[in-house]
Structure 1
Amino acid sequence: MSDTGLTLQGKRALVTGSGRGIGRAIAEGFAAAGARVALVSRTASEIKEVAAGIGHYATAFVGDVSHTPSIPALIDEIEHEMDGGLDIVVHAAGIQHRQAAEDFSHTEWDRVLAVNLTAPFMLSQEIGKRQLRDAREGSHIFVGSLTSHLSVPDVVAYTASKSGVYGILRSLSSEWSSRGIRVNGIGPGYIHTKLTEAAFNDSDRKQKMLARIPMGRFGKPEDLVGPAIFLASPAAGYVTGQLLMVDGGWTAA
């Protein structure tokens, strides 16, 4: 792995939403690639189970990143436990709410944007500030979506948040890349996780979605691991400001 630069040996990484789904798969993959991984989730039982499975490469931290005033203290705790500053952050925490646009709840709008858009920015802002202060290189990886590029019915807040994520990563890349911090994103297609369970339980909708995927299959959380390791690693040393779509060809069709 070291010949290609696809290694995270000696790096410290934070993965939010790592108690399940995409976040869990990426955290496990980062540890396998040599990184020490801080796992963050609101659900203690889930995050502790994942950390136990990974072993000494992982440390669990129970926290809600959407409660932005607590972010500096959370990063202080992580840095203390990991004996140093973070090199990598992956923003995998996310939520969804389905409702027709004309009826969309204002409360749910605020909740979806708080978790999917505001929290990732505030977390990267805090980590990036510390990396810039210490003149350390970094890699920040946001998780976008098909809806970063196109529309899907009944998820207006999710679409707004994931479109905004694409804007944030481009802006941060423009401001930080000359100072050693690369900022990129991964855009998953339809990956079978708890977040997408409702869509997969609708047989008609499921078949329509499948028909739009050139590769002819839905994705698995493990499909995101290789792209995440690449973007976090020295192999992507000249890659910044990009949203890498991992969607089976959906957005290219």
Structure 2
Amino acid sequence: MSDINEDGLKKAIEQVKGAVGDKLVSAIKLEYKKADVSKETDVKALVDHVESWGGVDIMFNNAGIMHPKDDGALNTEDSIWDLTQNINVKGVFYGCKHAIASLLANKKKGSIINTGSFVGLMGAATPQIAYTASKGAVLAITRELAVCYAQSGIRVNSLCPGPLNTPLLQAFLDTEEKKTRRTVHLPMGRFGEAIEQAKAAVFLASDDASYVTGQDFLVDGGLTRAYVTGLPPSTGVPAGPENVLFGK
């Protein structure tokens, strides 16, 4: 397990221990290492660390940011754009690159899961151009690697959450207007929970998904299949005789 936030890592390790119980904890090796996924040397060091365990079996590239200053095309600063791409895109690329190298070197089949987003498939209701672009890149990386390494027994899928009830999203949706702009589109009437994504990730990692690769695996509460509800004002109907039935 790895993250740039060491305190967060320690808490996560304790949560895992509490969830699986003492008997299972004693039977498995559970370690953490601090890393910045935007730096290839850090990611390579993570993969190298598990070579003594026999190499990578599963890689879950889940690190990512949605910066509160991420906005539309006119207002997003270069620094926010670059930071987002460095973590969300380069981090996934480096994770895939070194996981694939380990799997091939050890002649193993394996599963790589990259965290995408529903906004990689459709426009976001609130402006977040850097994040949206980064997740589109993740889906493209995933598709290409899945095709390239399918016959090597390496499966690569994108896990695409809908809006989740996490501190990351709540920090971004910092006004009632922003929250309403999201919840109005959710058929299930609520944000998703992290545990629902975790269960999907476990499925993609497991042999139950042995014939699943190259997929944008949506766990979004039906959001991307919903009729989009627009907020006023309307753009109106184009003028012209062909639109007379609908008004002008």
Partner Cα distance (2:14, 2:198) in 1: 19
- For the 8 Å contact 2:183–2:189, the answer to whether it is kept is yes
Aligned to 2:38: 66
Give, as a single letter, the amino acid of the residue that structure 2 aligns with 1:51: I
Aligned to 2:4: 42
Superposed counterparts of 1:149-228, under 5 Å:
149-152=121-124, 153-228=126-201
Give, as a single letter, the amino acid of the residue that structure 2 aligns with 1:143: T
Determine if the alignment matches structure 1 residue 236 to structure 2 residue 236.
no
- For the 8 Å contact 2:54–2:106, the answer to whether it is kept is no
TM-score by length of structure 1 reads 0.80
Partner Cα distance (1:179, 1:195) in 2: 36
Partner Cα distance (1:230, 1:61) in 2: 25
Partner Cα distance (1:86, 1:199) in 2: 34
Q: 2:66 aligns to what SS in structure 1?
A: coil
Which of 89, 98, 104 is the matching residue for 1:126? 98
Deviation, 1:218, is: 0.9
Deviation, 1:48, is: 1.2
Q: Which runs of 5+ in 1 are unaligned?
A: 1-38
Q: How many residues align?
A: 213
Give, as a single letter, the amino acid of the residue that structure 2 aligns with 1:113: Q
Q: Which of structures 1 and 2 has the larger relative contact order (alpha carbons within 8 angstroms, sep 6+)?
A: 1
Deviation, 1:188, is: 0.5
Partner Cα distance (2:51, 2:16) in 1: 19
- For the 8 Å contact 1:199–1:206, the answer to whether it is kept is no
Give, as a single letter, the amino acid of the residue that structure 2 aligns with 1:117: V
TM-score by length of structure 2 reads 0.81
Looking at CA atoms only, which structure, 1 or 2, has the larger radius of gyration?
A: 2
Deviation, 1:124, is: 1.0
Aligned to 2:75: 103
Partner Cα distance (1:111, 1:139) in 2: 27
Q: 1:201 aligns to what SS in structure 2?
A: coil
Give, as a single letter, the amino acid of the residue that structure 1 aligns with 2:62: A
Structure 1 ranges of 4+ moved more than 6 A: none
Which of 57, 68, 84 is the matching residue for 2:54? 84
Label 1:199 to 1:45 Cα distance change in 2 as closer, same or farther (>3 A): closer
Give, as a single letter, the amino acid of the residue that structure 1 aligns with 2:61: H
Give, as a single letter, the amino acid of the residue that structure 2 aligns with 1:229: V
Deviation string 1:144-179 (CA, Å, 9 cap, x unpaired) is 112111112421111111001000000000100111
Aligned to 1:51: 13
Deviation, 1:66, is: 1.0
- For the 8 Å contact 1:192–1:221, the answer to whether it is kept is yes
Determine if the alignment matches structure 1 residue 248 to structure 2 residue 221.
yes
Q: Which runs of 5+ in 2 are unaligned?
A: 18-24, 227-248
